[in-house]
A and B are shown apart, each in its own frame.
Chain A
């Protein structure tokens, strides 16, 4: 027998950690998806696709701006000491992924705004005619456009990676404590972004390209899952038990049905048939990918908090 009894009953700490609620997974999802959208929009600018008048690279940055702001609002709502939020920007703590993230977000906004300025939305130029002049000047210099593309790709990578590093730096939570988590979140963010662009793209070739790219991302994501579980299961017992939480434990049904089944395998099947012209493209597949990405963040945050070094307590 092995029984452990504690008199501690701190809110959101006992009987198991639930300190991070809905706000963090929503932020991680939106941050990851915006990261993917920045990489895709940046690539379109870099590769010259923006020369096509209906390129979705002109609508993506504005949507990214809105989504990232919503994500930051969620992050703000999560803070327990909200009036002190400015403290984040009076220091840079090199060992803290959250400090890195706060400063990366400060860099991401100018990159997004620069991307928006290349061709601002119609309502914006109507209200502020000066923006058309700036856009004209930017468009006259392909050098600027290429570099804004590169900047968006680099900062998108940093943003996407950071959302995973934030969790994986926590040695206290065995499920998160894997260096593959940032790769998983980056690829999942890219996949959700590709699904979104595939959904909204007006240019047919672009839509087809993104569907193919999304299939690639989904296959890579499945591969990362295999590697992540292999790593956890061949590690110490708390890590093995953390992997079992998702594979066979209390999170297994949600994980297999919503993340793997409805979030990856079924939309991948549908999109493979569509890109091979066996069926028509359907908006259901990309919507499933996006919702699957959100559920993935919820499960990882929740199960990660549940996973513990508890076994090591037992001598």
Chain B
């Protein structure tokens, strides 16, 4: 089975928020809410200061606390690519999944259900890239099957240094950041 993931080149990302706008437009994300966002992290000691700009979203983890805590099964792992999704009409809005996510990637949609990035599964199933990947002007985002040794994402991970976010939380995230 495929395991969809993203590889994001932090050396190319300029934080332009095109991915954020594309996601909001593609998925009708309500005003004041974000399924993806930009993080700018500065670290080091003067004069050796470093900065990393990265685009973040749900990590579609392999170990999913948001799915295992869901009392109705609304939060589930999709058959295609292990993408983590929420069935809106099964969600009771108990917010347990929002609390269970160490990345704070979920929110409660104004209509009452838990919402988050879907990897634009409606596009991916048609063979297209997620909207955020499609619009990136610096081509810093790559989407594909992490289990396929010939995929671009796997080749990048084999050739470059990378990190994931909060690996200690044990969720095995499927978004990788090239450094």
Contact = CB atoms under 8 A, between A and B. Distances in A.
A205 interface: no
Interface stretch (A38-46, A51-59, A128-136, A305-313): A305-313
A52 B81 CA distance: 65
Given A95-B69, A172-B99, A312 B90 contact: no
Interface stretch (B1-9, B38-46, B122-130, B152-160): B38-46
Contacts of A171: 65, 100, 102, 169-170
B38 A7 contact: yes
A21 to B, nearest CB: 10
A5 B99 contact: no
A276 interface: no
Interface residues of A, number: 50
B98 A13 contact: yes
A288 to B, nearest CB: 30
Nearest to B45: A1
Contacts of A308: 102
Contact of B73 (A78, A93, A97, A238): A93
A305 B33 CA distance: 19
Interface string A85-120: 101101101011111011000000000000000000
A78 B70 CA distance: 15
Interface in A1-59: 1-14, 17, 19-20
A84 B37 contact: no
Chain A: interface secondary structure?
loop
B69 A4 contact: no
A88 B71 contact: yes
A20 B94 CA distance: 9
A69 B33 CA distance: 34
B137 interface: no
B11 interface: no
Contacts of B56: 6, 8
Contacts of A10: 32-34, 104, 107
B91 interface: yes
B68 A95 contact: yes
B44 A1 contact: yes
A90 B108 CA distance: 22
A80 B112 contact: yes
A20 B40 contact: no
B79 interface: no
A141 interface: no
A135 B113 CA distance: 46
Contact of B17 (A7, A88, A173): A7
B132 to A, nearest CB: 14
Interface in B84-115: 89-96, 98-102, 104, 106-108, 111-113
B166 interface: yes
A78 B108 CA distance: 12
Given A79-B93, A88-B72, A314 B112 contact: no
Interface of B: 17, 20, 32-34, 37-46, 49, 56, 65, 68-74, 89-96, 98-102, 104, 106-108, 111-113, 163, 165-170
Question: 5 closest pairs, A vs B, by CB?
Answer: A80-B93, A81-B93, A8-B37, A81-B112, A98-B71
Given A11-B108, A80-B112, A93-B71, 4 more contacts: A7-B39, A11-B33, A11-B107, A170-B65
19 contacts: A1-B43, A4-B42, A6-B40, A8-B37, A8-B104, A11-B108, A78-B95, A79-B93, A84-B72, A87-B91, A98-B94, A98-B96, A169-B69, A170-B99, A172-B100, A172-B169, A309-B102, A312-B166, A313-B41
